[in-house]
Amino acid sequence: MNPVVLLDLDGTLVNSSQGVLHALRAGFTGAGLPAPDDAVLRTFIGPPVHDSLRRVGVPADRHADVVHGYQVAFAERGNLMTHVFDGIPTALADLRDAGAVLVVATAKPHRFAVPGLAHLGLAGLLDGVVGAPLDESESKGQIIGRALASLGDRRPDRTRVVMVGDREHDVAGARENDLACLGVLWGFGDRTELEAAGAAALVSTPGELAAAALAQLGVRT
């Protein structure tokens, strides 16, 4: 069976910071809550949003209001404020040329991830997209689990699957599914976070991604 590369979206394939921060500010304001500063809001990028809201002390009964406002603002404008990291299209093409199956596993709601990838011209380089439900209630581990299930008969042995992401949640979610995770250093996490989480290896640039993923999978090039 072909090897599989599962890919985080925000911070791994695309830089969504401008749009996410815009939408988060709108979500907090719409819920009548003060928005955290930008440094704190940037930590929301990648993890499931409910985890981040709990971390900054938003009461559980206000989560739905913040998430609703965030999603409305992101759909109206934020999704269009995203750009692809330089070198990512080439990395994806190289992985597919080597026979890898590429599936996005993202905590972004599926309804935003799919059109966003199409708008950015990445959809044709991918074999599947698995995003969070609209209420964003799933953990990254659950999302990765559904991404694996989506492969059906194409799912290989776990040693032939690798997760790629920029945050500790990607590493933890991969571990929950008994997978290795490559940590990328051009996103919203950093070396300290990814090493502490137990990333199998770190990748410095998109230009190194294909070779690193194929090496982790044991694919000779």
Q: How does pLDDT run across 19-44, given as a tens digit for each residue?
A: 989 999 999 999 999 999 999 998 99
Q: Which of 81, 102, 133 is the last residue of a domain?
A: 81
Q: How many domains does the chain have?
A: 2
Last residue within a domain, chosen from 34, 60, 81: 81
Report residue 221's pLDDT band, with 50, 70 and 90 as the boundaries: low
51 and 141 in a single domain? The answer is no
Best CA proximity match to 173, nearest among 151, 199, 155, 196: 199
Shared-domain flag, residues 159 and 88: yes
Same domain? 121 vs 204: yes
Residues 11 and 110 both lie in one domain: yes
Task: Please state, rounded to an integer, the average pLDDT across all residues of the chain.
Answer: 94
Residue 110: the pLDDT is 93
For β-strands 161-165 and 101-109, DSSP reports them as unpaired
Which whole number is the average pLDDT over 181-194? 96
Q: Distance between CA atoms of 200 and 162, rounded to whole angstroms?
A: 10
CATH code of residue 57 = 1.10.150.240
Q: Are residues 91 and 178 in the same domain?
A: yes
Q: Same structural domain for residues 164 and 58?
A: no
Beta strands in the chain (DSSP E): 4-7, 14-15, 83-84, 101-109, 128-132, 161-165, 180-184, 201-203
Q: Domain check: are 55 and 148 in the same one? A: no
- pLDDT reported for residue 121: 96
Q: Are residues 73 and 176 in the same domain?
A: no
Q: Give the pLDDT confidence of 100-136 residue by residue, as tens digits.
A: 999 999 999 998 899 999 999 999 999 999 999 988 7
Task: Report H helices in 63-208.
Answer: 63-76, 88-97, 110-119, 140-150, 168-176, 191-197
Q: What CATH number should be reported for the domain holding residue 91?
A: 3.40.50.1000
C-beta separation of 48 from 136 below 8 A: yes
Average pLDDT over residues 185-191: 95
Question: 34, 63, 81 — which closes off a domain?
Answer: 81
Q: Which long-range contacts (CB under 8 A, 24 or more apart) does 113-118 make?
A: 113/9, 115/79, 116/9, 116/14, 116/79, 116/82, 117/9
Mean pLDDT of 58-70: 94
Task: Specify which residues 48 forms β-bridges with.
Answer: none
Are 98 and 118 part of one and the same domain?
A: yes
- Write the pLDDT tens digit of every residue in 168-182: 999 999 999 999 999
**CA quadruple 43, 44, 50, 52: dihedral, nearest 10:** 20
Question: Based on the domain organization, do 209 and 140 belong to the same domain?
Answer: yes
Supply 56's token pair. Answer: 């900054």
What pTM, to 2 d.p., does this model score? 0.87
Look up the domain containing 172 and give its range: 4-15+83-217
Given this model, what pLDDT does residue 78 score?
A: 79
Say whether both 73 and 88 belong to one domain: no
Question: Based on the domain organization, do 117 and 181 belong to the same domain?
Answer: yes
Rounded CA-CA distance 120/115 in Å is 9
